[in-house]
Amino acid sequence: MIKKSLTTSFKKFFGSRPEVFSSAPGRVNIIGEHTDYNLGYVLPAAINFKIYFLVSKREDERVYLWAENYKEGENFSLKNISSSKKKKWANYVKGILWLLEKEGLCLRGINGLIYGDIPFEAGLSSSAALEVSVICALDELFRLNLSSEKKAFLAQKAENEFVGVKCGLMDQFISIFGRKNRAMYLDCETLNFELIPLNLQKLNLGFFIYNSRVQRELASSGYNLRRQEAEEALFFFKKRGFQGFKEVNVVMLEKMRSEMKEIIYKRAKHIISENKRVREAVQALKEDNFILLGKLLFLSHESLRDDYEVSCPELDLLYETGKDFPACLGARLTGAGFGGSGVALIKKDRIDAFKKEILNRAVKMGFNKPEIYEIKIGDGAKAYSLV
């Protein structure tokens, strides 16, 4: 249905049929936050909310884009791609095109339509999904023969260099390689990964997203500052013979604490302890031990709140409500923080009661009315020809 509807919109706007249809999912990171760019471990999963991109070739070098969600267009030349201050959604597409041109890949102008059902600015990686959807579509349209890993690298690089957000590789990687009812245990240093079964149905459990509706833009938030602080911590460890955070455990860290600035110690403590929690979460999933997984989610939030300091009162509300609610096994912020979303592991037959409880608490605190919805764990990106 979505393909038919968007094809109709494409024909209405551009006067011709699209040649390629692509989709790429957002993600929920079950655990492993701010460890991706620190070359540690993460445990994301692709979700059933996606960004769609329909595209056709033009005979010239012009690019015409239409964002169906915003009812807004943008056009420019491939030979003169510059960042837009007003139409920020367009920068993610521009970044991909700019980088492919820079890579020397032969492109032509395009007509492209974008639509997404991922809540924007909610910490569910709509930006990476857009980048991946676009690069997969262009790969199909122009027969670029890019490998899956190359697509992920280029999408990340476009966001780093053109958009200006120094994101890690996790979001693009899971958007491409995700699989239904599987979480991805990814080593962000080696890029080795293992798909771990999520047997949630055994205990009638589900993951639920709590969108705090506190908007944040990573490029102008404390995200880049956290990266700088993490780099300072890594420099400290390298001077003492360690090559990365994965070589340091909490016991070692405590022995070095007196030599470190307190803020750098706290940032390092989160990264090191979060790596440990990811490994423990993987083992818990392999044993279908969701009680342990839930405890690890709570611990992760505490670390993100107290040591990495990326939470906010609205996200703390999810954690606190989850702690008080017997049917909630675990809850934490997911994504970069500073607003956005959280994830909770809850018994499915109690979701309505949980939703009512957290909405009541949000009203009492004077917060924006949060959105809560169940997610399904789905497949990664797809692109195919329509002609």
Residue 166 burial by Cβ neighbours in a 10 Å radius (0-12, 13-18, 19+): middle
Kindly report the number of other CB atoms within 10 A of residue 187's CB atom. 16
Inside any domain, residue 223: no
Of 36, 117, 139, 171, the catalytic one is 171
Inside any domain, residue 115: yes
- 17-71: pLDDT as tens digits: 999 999 999 999 999 999 999 999 999 999 999 999 999 999 999 999 999 999 9
Inside any domain, residue 124: yes
Question: Residue 65: which CATH number?
Answer: 3.30.230.10
Residue 39: domain span? 2-193+378-385
CB hemisphere CA count around 372 (13 angstroms)? 24
Cα of first residue to Cα of last residue in the chain, in angstroms, is: 18
Inside any domain, residue 139: yes
Inside any domain, residue 308: no
Domain count, the chain: 1
Percentage helix, strand, coil for the chain under 3-state DSSP, each rounded to 5 = 45, 25, 30
Residue 287 phi/psi, 5° resolution?
-105, 5
Inside any domain, residue 22: yes
Indicate the pLDDT class of residue 378, thresholds 50, 70 and 90. Answer: very high
Contacts with 321 (C-beta within 8 Å, 6 or more apart), sequence order: 328, 331, 354, 357, 358, 361
**Residue 171 appears among annotated catalytic residues:** yes
CB 113 within 8 A of CB 9: yes
- Letter for the amino acid at 223? Y
Inside any domain, residue 278: no
Rounded to the nearest angstrom, the gap between the alpha carbon of residue 107 and the centroid of all alpha carbons in its chain is: 28
- 275-331: pLDDT as tens digits: 999 999 999 999 999 999 999 999 999 999 999 999 999 999 999 999 999 999 999
Residue 221: per-residue pLDDT: 64
Inside any domain, residue 269: no
Rg of the chain taking only CA atoms, in angstroms: 21
Residue 192 phi/psi, 5° resolution?
-70, 140
Residue 218: per-residue pLDDT: 53
CB 33 within 8 A of CB 334: yes
Distance CA 304, CA 286 (A): 25
